[in-house]
Structures are given as structure tokens and as C-alpha cells.
Amino acid sequence: MEEGCKSTLPPKRIQPKITDFENPYRLLYCSSKCDKDGVIEEIEKGVSPNLADHNKRTALHLASCEGCTKIVEVLVEKGADVNSVDRWGHTCSKLLLRSDLVIASQPLSDARKFGHEEICKILEARGGTDPEFHLLNVGLGFQIPCCEIDHTEVDMDERTLIGEGSYGEVYLVRWRGTEVAAKTIRSSIASNPRVKSAFVMELAMWQWLRHPNIVQFLGVLKHSDPLIFLTEYLPNGNLYDILKRKGRLDPPTAVAYALDIARGMNYLHQHKPQSIIHRDLTPRNVLQDEAGHLKVTDFGLSKIAQERDAYGYKMTGGTGSYRYMAPEVYRRESYGQSADVFSFALIVHEMFQGGPSNRAEEPEKVADKRAYEDSRPSLSSNVYPEAIKTLLQECWHKNRESRPSFGDIITQLELIQESLRDNEAMEGHCSCAIL
């Protein structure tokens, strides 16, 4: 404590912020990470076991997906609703199946989908139920595991344009009384049956994913041409626009945002049986929800962009992704999860900086210099806490094996977040005492 700082007053209370993760995210995060102590700690603090995120995904949904039997036991013991239905209700009751995998919005369905037998038994014993599924065909000539939505349920005439990406336009539409985003895939792209089927297969994978920091996929519009799929609507737009509007973020907000992205990415990388590598993690592919939390979107789709390249289509790098591209990806070498860690570091750097440090330079030139001259953004400004500087240097290390995993990044960011809170509390305490 600083000299002259009296300890007679209680520390100034830090007002909860939109980016505060204490509630409910810690319960949800601990549940998805099978952290039993963390879950018990949160419940003992008074957090409801039925507390849910913006999409009404509860801790039980997450633990059931991840196969965290011990967490499921604790939650049901503490009164968690085994039949809680998320925001999308039974939206995927019409499911396209190739195997006996299922998608649904209830914990039992989540557990069954991932083959967590023991959890299924626990939930069934407590009266857990499972929605109904059907075999359907999306009109591609073969059956694929993808949730299909009847076009009569979405009034495309009432659509509002939100933006445009390299695949097509994105609209705000109403579906069953809820505002959702409708992403269109240009006919020029989707008319190629191979590209279309690659897209739908990626979407099919996306539908299985459920995490508070991953944009929720809802389904593909039946017989749509251009191909249209629905995801949840994130009203606050993307991180690129947020940074353009707000400029540099204060360290607690930047760290909270970084944690959001890292948690979403960790979920993708830990996905079983196959890890999901994003390949195109950029501020434009990170969206903000009403509560101020960030969610990662469009993973896997860049794979198709590469395929499109082979067919003569434009690569996503042209829209700015080059700025975030790992050197090994740019050099067209083999790459893995650590390529996403590299992109993540550049995004975090921008959050502290208020935007890209080399705006004037062509994105491709930037990527080239990173790949062949080991050029990296400057960390000389005093806006970066020391621990953040160290983390960024590790994450954009030229040797990809030296980059940390997202699990490690989360641990480090949580420590940084804690120390920022301590500093804030200490500063508040000191200024109160002095006043």
C-alpha cells in the first residue's frame, strides 16, 4: 500500500460493468470446463444453478455438452432444471441426420449428441426429455446433418440489410418472433455444387456448437437460392466497428474482451472428436451481444474460401484478414491451432491500440513482412500492462510451438484481470482515504 494511504475506510466498491465476468459467466465457464470447485463456489455465493446466458443456455446445457458428469451431478443436486430450453426452443426439431447424432436445445439432447451415456442416465433419472428429430434433405441430393428451417417461417421481404461480406449480404430478419441474422451465400459461389456442399457441411458442424462465446447457428433455409442460413443476431455489431467508434479500450475492458474471445476459441480448439481451427480470426469475425460480451463467428468458412481460391474466387485475405494471418498460413505451410493464437494476439493488440498499428500499409504487405521479416506491432507504448506485453510476445512468436494454447491464455488473462481489479480497488481505496 502507498505511503499516506489510510486503511480505515473499506475499499471503494467497483461498480459491476457490462464486461464483468463474475456473474453469470464464471458459473457457465466453470461448468463447461468441468471445474467442480468453481461451480460449487459460484453456487455457494448464491448464483442460481438455473442462471443462463443471453441465449438461455444454462450451466447444465454446457456441462452436458462437454461430458462433465460431476458438474451435472452437482447442478441437478442443487436444483438445476433438467428440461430447461434455450432461447431457440425446439428450433431444430426438424433435423437432418446422417447418423444417430442429434441436435437439440435441452441438456439430455446435448448429452446424447456427444455420447455422454452416464450423463444421459442422470438426466433421464431426473425426468429429462429429448426433442423429436427427423431425417430431412436440404435439396443437395444427399442427406447431411444440418438443421433446416422452412422458408415460410422467415419473411425475407421484411429484411433489413446489416452488412456485406465476401460471401454475400447479411440481413436482420424475424424468425418465429425473434430477430435473427440471415446470411446469404451468393449464387455465384453456391452455384458450384462442390462449394455449396462444402458450405453446408461446415454449417452442419457449426450447428453442434454451443458456447456463450460462439455465435449460435440456427439453421439453413430450406430450398433457398441463394443459400441462406440463420444465426443469432448480435445487435452491437463487430469488434472492428466497435474499435473504430471507441478507439483504444481501457485495460479492464480489453482484458474482458480478450477473455471472451479466448474462451470461444478454446472451445473450438478443444472440440471433440476433431479440433476446429478458425483460420480467419479477425475483429470483423468477433461480434458483440446486448450484454456486451463478444462471440466468435464464421469459423470453418474460410476453409471454403481457400477452396474457392482454387476455383478462381477471391480469398478472404482481401477483406483484411491478411493483417491477422499467421506467418505459416501466409507462407502456405502446414499450420494448426497456433495460427489462431497468432491472430488473437493481433486482435488484442488492436484493442489496446484502438485499431491496427499499420493502417496505411496494404494488408498483404503487412502479412508478407510478418512472414518473411518477422515484423510485429510495436509494444513500446505504456498502454500495455507488462503481463499483456509478455502474453502478446508469446502468442505471436515466430516459432509456432512456442505459442501458448488458449487454455493457457485464459489462465494468464484471468490472473491479469484479477490484478487489474486489485489495482482498481486499491486506487479507489487510496483516493477515498485521501479525500
Q: Annotated catalytic sites, by residue?
A: 280
Greatest alpha-carbon span in the chain: 77
Provide the minimum distance between the beta carbon of 319 and ligand ATP in the complex, in angstroms, as a whole number: 4
**Which of 57, 116, 284, 293 touches ligand ATP (CB under 6 A)?**
284
Q: Does 69 bind ligand ATP (CB under 6 A)?
A: no
Site residues (CB under 6 A) for ligand ATP, limited to 179-218: 181, 183, 215
Q: Does 354 bind ligand ATP (CB under 6 A)?
A: no
Could you tell me the CA-to-CA distances from 402 to 325, 385, 392, 405 in Å, in that order?
17, 21, 12, 9
Decide: 126 and 118 in contact? Cβ < 8 Å: no
Decide: 323 and 337 in contact? Cβ < 8 Å: no
Question: Which residue ranges are tagged as binding site for ATP?
Answer: 183
Stretch that binds ligand ATP, among 117-125, 165-173, 219-227, 376-384 (CB under 6 A): 165-173
Whose CA is closest to 182, among 137, 138, 210, 224?
224
User: Per-residue x/- mask for ligand ATP, residues 235 to 254, rule CB under 6 A?
Assistant: --xx----------------
In sequence order, what are the residues at sequence separation of 6 or more whose Cβ sits closer than 8 angstroms to the Cβ of residue 279? 299, 300, 302, 303, 329, 339, 340
Would you say 19 or 285 has its CB closer to ligand ATP? 285
In 3-state terms the chain splits into helix, strand, coil percentages (rounded to 5) of: 45, 10, 45
**Which of 162, 205, 425, 433 touches ligand ATP (CB under 6 A)?**
162
Q: Does 228 bind ligand ATP (CB under 6 A)?
A: no
Would you say 139 or 237 has its CB closer to ligand ATP? 237
Give the DSSP letter of residue 292. S
Interatomic CA distance for residues 91 and 149, integer angstroms: 8
Q: Does 292 bind ligand ATP (CB under 6 A)?
A: no
Would you say 363 or 377 has its CB closer to ligand ATP? 363
Q: What is the CA radius of gyration of the chain?
A: 22
Stretch that binds ligand ATP, among 233-241, 247-255, 269-277, 334-342 (CB under 6 A): 233-241
Q: Does 167 bind ligand ATP (CB under 6 A)?
A: yes
Would you say 64 or 297 has its CB closer to ligand ATP? 297
Beta bridge partners of 184: 228
Provide the minimum distance between the beta carbon of 63 and ligand ATP in the complex, in angstroms, as a whole number: 26
Interatomic CA distance for residues 43 and 38, integer angstroms: 9
Stretch that binds ligand ATP, among 231-239, 329-337, 376-384, 389-397 (CB under 6 A): 231-239
Stretch that binds ligand ATP, among 49-57, 61-69, 148-156, 283-291 (CB under 6 A): 283-291
Residue with cell 482481401: 318
For residue 323, what is its C-alpha cell? 493483417
C-alpha 65, offset from chain centre: 16
**Strand blocks (E) in 362-429:** none
Q: Does 343 bind ligand ATP (CB under 6 A)?
A: no
Binding site for ligand ATP (CB under 6 A): 162-167, 170, 181, 183, 215, 231, 233-234, 237-238, 284-285, 287, 297-298, 316, 319
